[in-house]
Amino acid sequence: MATKNRQKWEPRTGERAIIHHKRASRIREGAIHLALFLCGILSIFTTLGIVAVLVIETVEFFKEVSILGFLTDTQWTPLFVDKHFGIMPLVCGTLLTSLIAMLVALPIGLLCAVYLSEYAPERVRHVLKPVLEVLAGIPTVVYGYFALLFVTPLLQGLIPSMSGFNALSPGIVMGIMILPIISSLSEDAIFAVPQSLREAAYAMGSTKLQVSFLVVIPAAFSGITASFLLGISRAIGETMIVAIAAGQQPRLTPNPLVPIETMTAYIVQVSLGDTPTGTLEYRTIFAVGMMLFLSTFLVNIVSLWLRRRFREVYL
Amino acid sequence: MKGLYHIEHRKMPTRRRRGRRGEWIFQSMAFVALVFTIAVLVVLLVDVFRDGVLRLNWQFLTSFPSRKPELAGILAALVGSACLITLTALFAFPLGVGAAIYLEEYARKNWLSRVIEVNIANLAGVPSIIYGLLGLELFVRMMRMDRSLLAGACTMALLVLPIIIISSREAIRAVPVSIREASYAVGATRWQTIRYQVLPLAFPGILTGTILAFSRAIGETAPLITIGALTYVAFLPTGLFSPFTALPIQIFNWVSRPQKGFLTNAAAAIIVLLIVLLLMNAVAIWLRNRYQKKLY
């Protein structure tokens, strides 16, 4: 085949060759441009796909269940005979575990970030950065295992009334999972604060602590807040830790010692069962997913806006 | 912003000792935080290792799941994970790098590229289980892929795409403009410049980011559960449309059982998963170190 072509091929010469070459290359360039554009635009279709899927199924869901009942009913029992579709218990479970996670991740993450960027000698940085990276890379099932089989028994030793499934233990472990996100993003924000601000404060006789807390942290505030928000959105969307260690009992309670169920864990619970597609039970996971998507979306947008702001101010 | 430059007089140290005490308190708090973080990691690893290392043997790696924990193994899960990640890479790598090239080299600064950019940042923050719901409707039901390896890989590809795009963009952006200008100056077209100058230089960075993205995908469980990957699979995947299981799903399944033996199995499977992740990360770091110096 190749030799045949070669025999037929005559070298184009002079102007014709250049024109031919130019046309071919313009077509090729255009085709490549188009292909790459399609790759770029795919992400928009992904978002549209997510929104479409959630909206379609949620609309079907609300044809059978009233929105008011969905938002105000205090019981969530779609898999029982006596069906109630009140999302509040699931939202409550999600908020409870997320709150505990943030109580762990926020102070420790911020301390680590300030210490790493303002204080730590190179040696400490060299140890701690990889540790944080490893913590961030551990799969969430592994954290789930750790919460259920290590942290819960440990806490039960301290609080004997605690149930085997509870919100406290997965909350704490989730906090540890989120910690690297908060500390590394906060550190980026702190790093972006110009050195001149620090020097000005030192020149006025401030101590290192004062520079860190009265100058650097306020200056990096929007970036630090953005990292907290991102952490919150991670906590809301986290699935495996709570599915493994928090239980499967939707319950409207602020008590962190009893089994609860989060929105994500409910989706897992239904997915593991044999719920036939197209039924009301099947649609509940999309309604819950919609709620989940909206809440994380909102938090993410604010976080993104804040991060953009701190970049514009200093870079 | 005005207040930043201005330090209130009240807060200035009147006595040096007070400042020093504050310093000491902060430093010790930070120290406790650091020790806590490192301790958690060590305890987690030691706990898993202690629980599972005795269960780890050749039989465990080469057996199918079983009702008896001591006969069960992770063969199906391990092969499933390998197939899944290979397929995901086949889909996500070209698409992700393509999108990154488009955004860095072609896109003009207009509303569309801004929308794409914000959208990608947003997608990176969407919980993975939502991708599972998308995969369930789009791939499993509408495209009738059923609960197959292909559906799983497509879902995973969409999940890792934003991460790949973001890290590839950074790698491409790091290539100096002067190299592109030199290429244009000798008459190369835009694609020739990208293909022969930009991509070779950016490739190690792209590869590192991609490997890290896939090491995240290997541990991802929630979307696979949502699209209905099976938890009990006693056969190896035979093709694109074959049902499958994956390592994290197997772990989840074992953790959810009450018997002690299965919990031990879960710990052993976690060790295998962590070793796989460690290897992938080591390759990424090795690539980074090896090519970083050569570039500039």
* B196 touches A: beta carbon within 8 Å: no
Distance from CA of A12 to the nearest CA of B (A): 20
Q: Is the ipTM of this complex over 0.90?
A: no
Chain-wide mean pLDDT for chain A?
87
Subunit contact A132:B37, Cβ cutoff 8 A = yes
Do the beta carbons of residue A188 and residue A216 sit within 8 Å?
no
Chain A residues touching B208 at Cβ < 8 A = none
Angle at which helices A263-272 and A280-314 pack, to 10 degrees? 140
Closest B-chain CA to A247: B256
* pLDDT, tens digit, 9 for 90 and up, residues B110-121: 888 889 988 998
C-alpha to C-alpha distances, B74 to A138, A244, B54, B143, B258, nearest whole angstrom: 19, 20, 15, 30, 19
* B51 touches A: beta carbon within 8 Å: yes
Structure-block tokens of residue A312: 């514009």
Chain A residues touching B138 at Cβ < 8 A = 49, 53
Q: Residue B3: its pLDDT value, please?
A: 46
- Amino acid letter, A10: E
CB pairs under 8 A between A and B: 264
Q: Residue A2: its pLDDT value, please?
A: 47
Subunit contact A128:B48, Cβ cutoff 8 A = no
Mean pLDDT of B167-185: 92
Say if residue B187's pLDDT is above 80.
yes
* B126 touches A: beta carbon within 8 Å: yes
Q: Residue A10: its pLDDT value, please?
A: 60
* pLDDT, tens digit, 9 for 90 and up, residues B98-110: 999 999 999 888 8
Q: Residue A119: its pLDDT value, please?
A: 85
Chain B residues touching A49 at Cβ < 8 A = 134, 138
Q: Residue A308: its pLDDT value, please?
A: 79
Distance from CA of B31 to the nearest CA of A (A): 9
Range with the poorest average pLDDT among B6-15, B212-221, B275-284: B6-15
Which A residues, 114 through 173, put their C-beta within 8 Å of a C-beta on chain B? 114-115, 119, 124, 127-128, 131-132, 134-135, 137-146, 148-150
Which A residues, 203 through 262, put their C-beta within 8 Å of a C-beta on chain B? 204-210, 212, 214-215, 218-219, 230, 233-234, 236-240, 243-244
Q: Please state, for a pLDDT cut of 70, what percent of chain A lies above it.
A: 94
Exposure string of A185-204, with b = 16+ CB inside 10 Å and e = fewer, is: bbbbbbeebeeebbebbeee
* pLDDT, tens digit, 9 for 90 and up, residues A130-147: 888 888 889 999 999 999
* pLDDT, tens digit, 9 for 90 and up, residues A164-211: 899 999 999 999 999 999 998 898 888 888 889 899 999 998 888 888
Q: Residue A15: its pLDDT value, please?
A: 72
Write the residue in A50, A140, A301 that is nearest to B134 by C-beta: A50
Q: Residue A92: its pLDDT value, please?
A: 93
Q: Residue B72: its pLDDT value, please?
A: 84
* pLDDT, tens digit, 9 for 90 and up, residues B215-247: 889 999 999 999 887 777 777 888 788 888 899
Mean pLDDT of A66-92: 86
Mean pLDDT of B78-91: 93
Which B residues, 59 through 78, put their C-beta within 8 Å of a C-beta on chain A? none
Q: Residue B67: its pLDDT value, please?
A: 82
Q: Which of A236, A63, A60, A213 is nearest to B7 (CA)?
A: A213
Closest A-chain CA to B215: A137
Distance from CA of B120 to the nearest CA of A (A): 6
DSSP B250: H
The 8 Å CB, 24+ separation contacts for A71-75 are A74/A252, A75/A250
Helix (H, G, I), strand (E, B) or coil at B148: strand
Chain-wide mean pLDDT for chain B?
86
Say if residue A7's pLDDT is above 80.
no
As to burial, measured by CB atoms within 10 angstroms (0-12 exposed, 13-18 middle, 19+ buried), residue A35 is: middle
* A39 touches B: beta carbon within 8 Å: yes
